[in-house]
Structure 1
Amino acid sequence: METIKNSIGLKLTVLWIGILFAMVILPTPFKSIAIGIFAILTIVLAIQRKAYFNLPFFLWNAALFCLLVFTFLYTENTEYGIRKLSTMASLIVFPALFSFIRKEDDHGIFKYHNQYLWVYVVSVFAFNVVAFLWFYITNYSFAGMIEHFATVVRVDMGKWRIHPIYLSMHCAVALLFSMYLLKATRSKRLIMLLLSIDMVLILFLLLYAKKGPLLALLVVFTLFVAFQRKQGLVKPYLVAMVVVVGLTVAIPKTRNKFVELLKIENLDKGSLTSTNIRYTIYACAKELIADAAFLGYGIGDYNDVLQKSYKEKDKPILVAGEYNAHNQFFSLMLMGGVLAVVFFGLMLAVNFVFAIRYDNQLLILLLIFYSLVMLTENILEREQGVIYFSLFLSYFGLRNRYLEAHADSTNS
């Protein structure tokens, strides 16, 4: 009877990991419910067996959150600090939950690895297409959708509302996953289906016109081709790059975003562009970091001091927009100083080293992708960013153990 219970518990856990990969299509409240159910399943499964907790895995993946809790001790705005820690809770929740998974269960979970990737790719595709078609049919002309869709998904989608930067990241990660699915797929029909989905996702990525995710995707795409060490991929790679660059230049909205990079200035002297806004923010943030380099200002106060700096330096646009640091590393410095960046860097480095050791290419590319996007976005401080970052880091990080065991069995 106990064996049957364990089998059912494992099957439900396997199923629910698939649900987590499909969270992009869930409205905001149901994301928390999905994570809560996963927590119940993993804990119940652990209770049914002998006590087990992968402490090293938990520590190196949750250390940053623990440090941020420590900064709460010297913060004044406790209400904001609690709210921010709640938003970032995925940084400790997913490492804890995946730490309950025993080594003997790895095969039962990771044999569905490609299915999880499919679930995510199809979910991201469906979310974009359904949202676009719904508002096209009910509210806008096609030209209107092309012009306003990025605003529509941010403002008019209720519980499904999402900032286009995070939807761009979803599109980019889905394209990354599809590269490995194409590599593993032998069915011509599935290959054609994946390529069709990829073309649509690329168009949406260009429609959102977010420089960070697009540039990060081009970097990891280049690295993916390099990892394969196959000359036959060079020509398709060059064709794809030419097509993407050509479309970027041909689409005015996307082209103008990249033209901004040719003239980067402070807002006092330059035009009002997203690039110049970030440049001005960084100037303010760097001065604040220098004044509290070791411990920062605490999880509750870091944003307050940044907003105060905008007012003192007479930056009305930044004051009105209540902009965050728009750089995750700067933001961590403001929260917890050098210690926070060191903890975060160690978390990335440990996962990166193990990913290289066990040839976990997807984890390597995900770490590079997110690190590049973090240069211009605070993705750990928004639910739509931190949930998926922590989920993927925990899932693909745990997969290192499975790849290690698989390599040992192959060599033996």
Structure 2
Amino acid sequence: MKLKNLIINATSMFYKEDDWIVMTFWNSLYIAFFLLPLGINLPTPFFVISIIFGVIMMFRSDKSFILDNKILLLFPAYFVVMSLGLIYTDNLSSGFDLIQRSLTLLLFPIIFLFVKEDATTVRKLFDFLLVGLLVSFCFNFFCATNNLLQYAINDKEGINTFSFIERLIKGRNYFFIGSSLSRAVNANYISIYILLVLSYYLKNKLQTRLQMVVIFVLFLYLFLLASIAAYVILAIMAILLIVNIKDKQKKYTMIIMFMMGVFLFASNPRVSDFYVRIKSFNETLDYENTTSEKSRVLSWDASIKLIKEAPILGYGVGDANDVLIKKYKELNYTFNHKNKYNSHNQFLQTYLQTGIVGFGILVSIFILLGMRMKRSRNEFSVFLILFISLLFESMLVRFNGIVFFSIVIPLLLKKRSILSSRIIRNEQ
């Protein structure tokens, strides 16, 4: 009986409507969002199916819907500017690959100009993403545990109880912290998904034990992923929450909890290592053994130097990374050159690819998003998550980042926010 109820509850999460085209569009998106935290390539077929049925919906819809949300046309404009960057690109193969991955920036925003949706329909996107995160946590935790056990067992000097426990303690940071925990999807992307889900669900009070357990697991997952950018965003979100509390007693309690949280997250080995590594940055003359934190700063430094050399058109979508890698070699940033790092900042990456026009469009999108989302603490927190994420990652070079950006931000920019409890509709 319990299994039957579980199946019924699972199937009730999907979109149901007499129109099978609309139903296929939304259900494909739901499955894709569920698969986003589980693998880079897993959600791709479902996004493709959703685009196909979305285009069909677009052509049979009332075209006047486009008048309500003209702001979404910035995304197709951004895609067009990127495509024009192929004109002055030598590495056309790399350029075409990026343009192909970026097609969702053109298609999904246009589709959402014509598609009707309500708050319940959009909320299910976050429901499926939440379930995907929980499955991802269980899978990654199991794999990390298995790897740790194999590491502890493979002791050439022999196994006894004390040596086994010692190796478990010694090896825990190798398998449970940072990218080692999340191998299928970049840990920074998983952290962004978690923060957005937390922002969406924590706008309401927790009412059940299950909700408390789910929130605890998400915070634990965020802690283990050890994304410095995510920690910074979480701290800002917590400060905004505390500032808006009017009851003094509750505010003092939250301040104490915040300080305890800061102490806990600061105890993460990756965070303490970050401080040790970054404080001696200016003293380092040899970049052959550069740490990941320093390499990010060096990426920004090289990108800014290149932008100064080509401030108008940039270097084209195909040549931007090639030019950046050459600059690493010229500046003797050996570690960055060896690993062929991108800018690790989407605004700098966009400037290198498209010049001042593409950069201006991307900045305009976030200025308008910030203006739309200053209405409440919860909405502004989501804006901060997206904006700060792009400051630390070149999200629009990987498919997971591109497709997430091209769905979530257009829905946030529409006249009525997806974070609102009100009905969202495109009306004539």
Query: What's the TM-score once normalised by structure 1's chain length?
Result: 0.82
Q: 2:104 aligns with which of 77, 81, 90?
A: 90
Distance 1:384 1:67 in 2: 21
Q: 1:58 aligns with which of 58, 72, 83?
A: 72
**Which runs of no fewer than 5 residues in structure 1 stay unpaired?**
156-160
Deviations 1:56-90, CA, capped at 9 Å, x for gaps = 14312332222111111111111111112223333
Residue 342 of structure 1 deviates from its aligned partner by 0.9
**Which runs of no fewer than 5 residues in structure 2 stay unpaired?**
1-15, 153-167
Native 8 Å contact 1:296 1:336 kept in 2:
yes
- The question of 1:308 aligning with 2:326 is answered yes
Aligned letter for 1:148? F
Deviations 1:149-181, CA, capped at 9 Å, x for gaps = 4344555xxxxx11222222223223222312x
Provide the residue aligned with 1:133 in structure 2. Answer: 142
Native 8 Å contact 1:121 1:177 kept in 2:
no
Provide the residue aligned with 2:212 in structure 1. Answer: 195
Provide the residue aligned with 1:158 in structure 2. Answer: none
Distance 1:373 1:77 in 2: 28
- The question of 1:34 aligning with 2:52 is answered no
Distance 1:265 1:289 in 2: 23
Provide the residue aligned with 2:315 in structure 1. Answer: 297
Distance 2:63 2:424 in 1: 25
Aligned letter for 1:196? V
Distance 1:115 1:5 in 2: 15
CA distance 1:314–1:28, change in 2 (3 Å): closer
CA radius of gyration, larger in:
2
CA distance 1:371–1:384, change in 2 (3 Å): same
Residue 11 of structure 1 deviates from its aligned partner by 4.0
Residue 194 of structure 1 deviates from its aligned partner by 2.6
Aligned letter for 1:208? L
Between Structure 1 and Structure 2, which shows a larger proportion of helix residues? Answer: 1
Distance 2:286 2:41 in 1: 43
Q: 1:175 aligns with which of 198, 203, 207?
A: 198
Residue 110 of structure 1 deviates from its aligned partner by 1.8
Aligned letter for 2:229? G
Identity %: 20
Provide the residue aligned with 2:349 in structure 1. Answer: 331
Provide the residue aligned with 1:214 in structure 2. Answer: 231
Native 8 Å contact 2:72 2:410 kept in 1:
no
Native 8 Å contact 2:145 2:175 kept in 1:
no
Native 8 Å contact 2:306 2:352 kept in 1:
yes
Native 8 Å contact 2:242 2:251 kept in 1:
yes
Query: What's the TM-score once normalised by structure 2's chain length?
Result: 0.79
Residue 92 of structure 1 deviates from its aligned partner by 1.9
Provide the residue aligned with 1:390 in structure 2. Answer: 406
SS in structure 2 of the partner of residue 72 of structure 1: coil
Distance 2:104 2:247 in 1: 38
Provide the residue aligned with 2:10 in structure 1. Answer: none
CA distance 1:87–1:403, change in 2 (3 Å): closer
Native 8 Å contact 2:54 2:111 kept in 1:
yes
- The question of 1:44 aligning with 2:71 is answered no
Structure 1 vs Structure 2 CA RMSD: 3.2
Distance 2:413 2:103 in 1: 18
Distance 1:313 1:70 in 2: 30
